[in-house]
Amino acid sequence: MREVEEQLRSEVVRLFAEGAIDLFLGYSSSRVPLRSAACVLHDADGVARLVWNRTCTPNLAALLRELLRSPPGATGDAPPRIGLLAKGCVSRSLVTLMKANQISRESLLIIGVDCPGMIDRHKVAARVGGEIAAAIWSGDDLAVRATGSGEHILSAEDVLLDDCRTCAHPSAVLSDRFLGEPRAPRRDALDDPASSLTEAEPEERWSHFQGEVARCIRCYACREACPNCFCTECFADASDPRWIGVTTDETDLALFHLGRAFHQAGRCVSCGACVSACPLGIDLRMLYEKVNGDVKVRFGTDVGTSLDEPEPLCRFALEDDETFMTEPGKGGRGMGVR
Interface positions with ligand SF4 (CB under 6 A)? 59, 216-222, 225-228, 264, 268-274, 277-278, 280, 282, 284, 288
CA distance 244 to 255: 7
CA distances, 123 to each of 34, 108, 111, 274, 279 (Å):
12, 34, 29, 15, 13
Nearer to another protein, 49 or 215 (CB): 215
Q: Which does 4 bind (CB under 5 to 8 A by kind): another protein, ligand SF4, none?
A: none
Binding partner of residue 228 among another protein, ligand SF4, none, CB cut-off 5 to 8 Å per kind: ligand SF4
Question: How many angstroms separate the most distant Cα atoms in the chain?
Answer: 73
158 in Cβ contact with 166 (< 8 Å):
no
Q: In this structure, what DSSP letter does residue 157 have?
A: G
DSSP assignment of 14-48:
HHHHHT--SEEEEEEE-SSTT-EEEEEESSGGGGG
Q: Which partner in another protein, ligand SF4, none is near 126 (CB below 5 to 8 A by kind)? A: none
Rounded Cα distance, 223 and 231, in Å? 10
Q: Least distance (Å) from another protein to the CB of residue 5?
A: 40
Q: Which is nearer to another protein, 93 or 292 (CB)?
A: 292
The alpha helices in 100-139, defined as continuous H runs, are 121-128
Q: How far is the CB of 212 from another protein (least distance, A)?
A: 10
Give which of another protein, ligand SF4, none residue 273 binds (C-beta under 5 to 8 Å, depending on kind): ligand SF4
Q: How far is the CB of 293 from another protein (least distance, A)?
A: 9
Nearest distance, CB of residue 308 and another protein, angstroms = 19
Name the residue nearer to another protein (CB basis): 66 or 249. Answer: 249
Q: Which does 203 bind (CB under 5 to 8 A by kind): another protein, ligand SF4, none?
A: another protein
Q: Which is nearer to another protein, 124 or 194 (CB)?
A: 194
Residue nearer to another protein on the CB measure, 5 or 311? 311
Distance CA 304, CA 309 (A): 9
Q: Residues in the site for another protein, rule: CB under 8 A?
A: 195, 197-198, 202-209, 235, 243, 245, 247, 249, 251-252, 254-255, 258-259, 261-262, 265, 286-287, 290-291, 294-295, 298-299, 312-318, 320-322, 324-328, 330-338
The item of another protein, ligand SF4, none sharing an interface with residue 198, based on CB under 5 to 8 Å by kind, is another protein
Give the sheet arrangement for strand 150-155, strand by strand: 132-138, 141-146, 150-155
Q: Which is nearer to another protein, 107 or 166 (CB)?
A: 166
Angle at the Cα of 229 (from 237 to 202), degrees rounded to 5?
85
Phi-psi region of 264 (alpha: psi -120 to 50; beta: other; left: phi over 0): alpha
Of 174 and 226, the one with the shorter C-beta distance to ligand SF4 is 226
- Cβ 63 to ligand SF4, closest distance in Å? 12
- Is cis: bond before 241, omega within 30 of 0? yes
Nearer to ligand SF4 (CB atom), residue 94 or residue 111: 94
Q: What is the enclosing helix (H) or strand (E) of 275?
A: helix 273-277
